[in-house]
Chains A and B, each alone.
Chain A
Amino acid sequence: MIPRILVRLEVLLQHMEHSFPVLFGTKPPPSIVSLVASNSSVPISSNSVEPFSLKDLIGDGFLWAVPRNRRTIEKRLKRKFGHPDYVWKLIKPKTTLRTCNQCGHDYEVGLLCPHCYDKVRKETELIQEKIQKELGLDPVDKEVIVLYDGEKGEKPNEQWNGKRIVEMQRPRPMWFSKNLMQKTTQPAATTEEAKPNELG
């Protein structure tokens, strides 16, 4: 509010200044604006007003190039944060992480669980090493069965007929179920009727 009044007052004073030469001849009296602005007792001579020149300011020096326009807010924001679809500079939350149902570690959707897979990989490498040691360079013509400590005597030798047994000299890991072997060792069912058991 106050600045607007000040502007209007200034405009009014300028109008009055312009109207002086018309009223009192060609030479105007000292300007009222400068008198009001300076508010000093020293009288201002008409010779003191000189045209502004850059030379007075710079002297022997020189100027670097500087921005001539203000950057728009959009450009400034884009420089600061990037664009969400192209280059996003802030941290994005990752929504593809899940908790493994088996071990509770985090894994990425679509990939294997690192903890579970690490366990499996180590065991697999041990078994592979053992198998290669057993087989050597002979032609491989039999299925290989992996048995752990104390499992060979559990079933009669006919069960393993036509299969090559590789024994791991260590107890079976808890998580590696023995039931996986059932399919290859058990004879197929002879009954034709498919009825659920465990009644009562």
Chain B
Amino acid sequence: MSNLFDLLVAGLATGAIYALVAVGFTLLWQTSQTINFAQGEFVMLPAFLMLAAMHAGAPFWLAIILGILLSMILLGLAFKMLLVDPMMRHGVLPLAIATMALAIGIKEAVKQFFSAEASPFPSIVPTGDITVLGHVVSLQSIGVLVVAILAVFGLTTLLNRTSLGHQMQAAAQNPTVARIIGVPVERMILLTFLINAFLVALASLLITPIYLAKFSSGEVLGQAAFIAAIVGGFNQVRGAIAGGLLIGVLDNLAAAYVSTQYRAAVPLIFLIVVILFRPQGLLGRAEERTV
């Protein structure tokens, strides 16, 4: 029983990180029909930016701020202006392929300019264990959960409670009408790209202390976030959050109860079943315009 509890906590902690990445993924899809195959690499890169800042002599807190700012410039602004904007009008597929190429580019750049080896990364949460309800829980899991929940809460508040959020939703749901009623659609799309960049930088900060900073670590993470986004509902922020948590827990339970060899298969089979029987995702709305 205590084993199950531990697995659930660990699963929720990884799931919360997946959720952050998946939310960004769905935001990009909703506002600009970008399927970002480089999302995993987007999570891998900020950790290296922060490490580079630290190597240059910046203290950890400053490195974090610099890393997040740089990610927002590179992965938000530059990504949108240089790659997405010129390609958006050509449809979903060429842009998706271009992001695949981008993923290769980012990986190779990190390998070339930084290191092919895994580097340790300091944790923002103190390491150690505390006892909750008679169970030993690592502080790191709790810290990750708290930060991720705060971020998701902040984002949903922004989207649902503020005028800015409503404008973003309008721009995503119906750009033409949004433009007519005076929503600056272009600026809203740019904003979602910046939010995505912020979320991946945050996810990077949370996950890298656990799995080390490595150029190839984006592959697994990107796929997990991908699955989470689809399972939860490709067109819903809350769907992506639920999907992330679900995949995180499922992944941890599968590792313990199925087999370590086929642990990766469980979320995939789950994904196929969801797509076949509820393609809009567990919490998603059916999309009229694409199918």
Verify that A and B bind, or say they do not. Answer: no
Residues of B within 8 A of A (CB): none
Residues of A within 8 A of B (CB): none
